[in-house]
């Protein structure tokens, strides 16, 4: 796509979403009126919406990047709740991923994709399949759920795909009508199925993207970090030219699974946002310079209280090496 084509494609998506989404639930584009040296695609999590990444997107936009945050299928819709998430399919998620990369190619020269949780699984699909992308950042991917023992993870997923959907609803936040509190078992199973597909593809062939970073949360009680490490190991072992790195946010921060949503209780955007921004730039967030960088203009504590917080680089063992 040309730049004009890409902007027109996003605007067409927004017009199509307007009659069906809740206030604030549409896809987001922050553009400078011309193609930039870098474009960042953020992929939000299950039951959330594009606004999950808005503050971080605004900061990167202020630094010169174009930022695109597409809405996941069946999310943030009017007059629905978490039950609508059961309509989500792997095919829709992959189609959204591929379309987002095509749009991004018209918005900027270097494409960086970052996704959280379900969005992390979509980012993993992009890492495996999309050669046009320079760098992917996979944040707390929902490859496996923490509360399901690994031997039962795949059977439970397949059972959830066959049984009638079960929806668990939680109280709606009036200030965020674009969120669908709760979950649908069928939607979670489809997200898990996408992760399983990516892992199967990774075993067969190297990833398409040459730079892949995982940002994991030691305090995460929703997803199983080891599954992300296992995928990182497969990718790192498949091709010595692929740069795969993993970083671990310390348990002492007490972070929730969703480390991006700024309104979450116990959130530390002053710590997490600089680290994600460093990964977007291709820097090592475990370095002191990345931790001290003032990244969030809306947070007076950014760049100061994050000093001394250590994000641990996790070593990936290569075949034949210790």
Ranking 95-104, 215-224, 299-308 by mean pLDDT, the lowest is 299-308
Asked whether residue 290 carries a pLDDT value surpassing 80, the answer given is no
pLDDT in tens, 37-50: 999 999 999 999 99
pLDDT for res 301? 33
pLDDT in tens, 152-192: 999 999 999 999 999 998 887 887 888 888 899 999 999 99
Whole-model pTM above 0.85? yes
DSSP 197-257: HHHHHHHHS--S-SEEEEEEETT-SSB-HHHHHHHHHHHHHH-TT-EEEEEEE-GGG---S
Query: Which domains can be identified in the chain, with CATH numbers?
Result: 3-314 (3.40.50.1820)
Whether the Cβ atoms of residue 267 and residue 302 lie closer than 8 Å to each other: no
Ranking 36-45, 131-140, 208-217, 259-268 by mean pLDDT, the lowest is 259-268
Q: Can you say whether residue 316 is alpha, beta or left, with left for phi > 0 and alpha for psi between -120 and 50 degrees?
A: beta
- CA–CA gap between residue 115 and residue 124 (Å, rounded): 8
Task: Please state the rounded mean pLDDT for residues 261-283.
Answer: 91
């Amino acid at each position: 796509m040309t730049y004009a084509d890409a902007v027109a494609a996003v605007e067409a998506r927004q017009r199509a979403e307007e009659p069906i989404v809740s206030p604030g639930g549409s896809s987001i584009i922050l553009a400078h009126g011309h193609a930039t040296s870098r474009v960042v695609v953020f992929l939000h999590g299950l039951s959330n919406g594009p606004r999950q990444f808005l503050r971080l997107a605004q900061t990167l936009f202020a630094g010169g990047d174009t930022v695109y945050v597409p809405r996941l299928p069946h999310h943030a819709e009017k007059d629905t709740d978490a039950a609508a998430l059961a309509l989500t399919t792997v095919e829709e998620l992959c189609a959204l991923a591929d379309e987002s990369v095509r749009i991004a190619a018209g918005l900027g020269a270097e494409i960086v994709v970052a996704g959280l949780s379900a969005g992390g699984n979509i980012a993993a699909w992009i890492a495996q399949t999309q050669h046009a992308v320079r760098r992917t950042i996979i944040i707390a991917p929902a490859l496996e759920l923490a509360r399901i023992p690994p031997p039962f993870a795949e059977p439970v997923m397949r059972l959830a795909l066959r049984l009638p959907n079960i929806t668990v609803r939680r109280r709606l936040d009036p200030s965020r009508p674009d969120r669908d509190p709760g979950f649908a078992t069928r939607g979670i199973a489809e997200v898990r199925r996408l992760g399983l597909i990516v892992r199967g593809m990774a075993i067969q062939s190297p990833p398409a993207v040459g730079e892949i970073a995982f940002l994991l949360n030691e305090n995460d009680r929703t997803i199983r970090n080891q599954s992300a490490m296992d995928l990182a190991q497969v990718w790192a072992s498949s091709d010595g030219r692929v740069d795969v790195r993993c970083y671990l946010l310390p348990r002492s921060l007490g972070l929730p699974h969703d480390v991006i949503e700024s309104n979450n209780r116990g959130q530390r955007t002053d710590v997490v946002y600089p680290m994600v921004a460093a990964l977007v730039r291709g820097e090592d967030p475990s370095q002191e310079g990345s931790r001290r960088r003032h990244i969030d203009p809306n947070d007076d504590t950014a760049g100061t209280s994050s000093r001394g917080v250590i994000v641990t680089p996790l070593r990936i063992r290569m075949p034949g090496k210790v």
